[in-house]
Amino acid sequence: MSNFKTEKEFLENYNVSEYDRPSLCVDNILFTIREIENENYRKLSNKSLQLLLTYRESYPFKNCWALPGTFVNTSESLDEAATRCLKEKSNISDIYLEQLYTFGDVNRDPRTRVISCTYMSLVDSTNLKIKPGRNVSKIDFFTVSTNTTNYKIIDTKSGNISTYTTELILKNIDTTITAKIQTKKELIGTKSITTYKILKSENIAFDHAKNIIYALDRLKNKVEYTDIAFSLMGEYFTLTNLQKCYEILLDKPLLAANFRRKISHMVSETDKITSGAGHRPSKLYKFNPDWHNNNF
């Protein structure tokens, strides 16, 4: 029982060193879709999902790439820290950030106990200009690709357990980053528990490979029932480019007729058309903020 008569008295005598205080950081997973120009101007340019990474020139994980991250100051909120981090390290500001997950494995950082609150954002690359900022010598976008193998499923009394291995491949002009993550999904009745384990990680710091796989899984899920994909589009877009965006995020081809029927309520046709050599003009559309839910 407390010997203090008031909360004020209790707080004045509170010993902050009574409990261990882990460090807290924020990490940003920023995705965009960027074009790779085709030498044949009559062909549509290729597009790929890309991820922003920063280069580490100091220990730990010296000479590795990492998600843009920073420690949280005691005077700022998590959202403020995530926003500050992107501005300081990459010159990116005024974008929507969403809390993704909190990663707290005991040994995820070799320096000390560090808990990471990870944020995810999707941005249109059209007007995106990045440059190295505070304590950053290099920053770049990496093309994201994955390959899933070793899928297994075991039935249990209350459900089943499925496991598979995902190879993560991140590439820019000079560097290839690879990692292998094992995903385990345990179904117990109507409850599902998913865990991730790093099997191999090369050229990427901390547990960031696992964090990226988690973000990709979450992204695919959210595309099915939200308008998150439109964050990657400009104000005006063609339905062909929108479909390509969905195909990249879902990692599967979509039938044009079915796609256009299912997103018809999410877009509004404009009186604008595309222009440019080598292509037939196409109608331009805008996002309809008043759309109603309709899953893929």
- pLDDT tens, position by position, 92-130: 988 889 999 999 999 999 999 999 999 999 998 887 888
pLDDT for position 89: 92
pLDDT digits (tens, 9 = 90+) for 62-87: 999 999 999 999 999 999 999 999 99
- Residues 243 and 266: their CA atoms lie apart, in Å, by 13
- Residues 58 and 271: their CA atoms lie apart, in Å, by 53
Residue 141's pLDDT band (boundaries 50, 70, 90)?
very high
* Rounded alpha-carbon distances, angstroms, from residue 40 to 111, 143, 173, 279: 50, 21, 21, 12
pLDDT for position 200: 95
State which amino acid sits at residue 210: K
Mean pLDDT, range 36-46, rounded to an integer: 53
- Residues 270 and 181: their CA atoms lie apart, in Å, by 44
pLDDT digits (tens, 9 = 90+) for 179-207: 999 999 999 988 999 999 999 999 999 99
Specify the 3-state DSSP secondary structure of 5.
coil
Every domain of the chain with CATH number 3.90.79.10 lies at 23-223
Residue 36's pLDDT band (boundaries 50, 70, 90)?
low
pLDDT for position 249: 92
Residue 1's pLDDT band (boundaries 50, 70, 90)?
low
| CATH 2.40.50.140 describes domain 231-287 | no
Every domain of the chain with CATH number 1.10.10.10 lies at 231-287
Confidence check: pLDDT of 37 > 80: no
pLDDT for position 237: 92
pLDDT digits (tens, 9 = 90+) for 210-264: 999 999 999 999 998 889 999 999 899 999 999 999 999 998 999 999 999 999 9
pLDDT for position 125: 84
Sign of CA dihedral 122, 129, 77, 215: positive
Residue among 55, 56, 204, 27 nearest 116 (CA): 27
Residue 3's pLDDT band (boundaries 50, 70, 90)?
confident
pLDDT for position 282: 83
State which fold the 23-223 domain adopts: Nucleoside Triphosphate Pyrophosphohydrolase (3.90.79)
Q: What is the pTM of this model?
A: 0.89
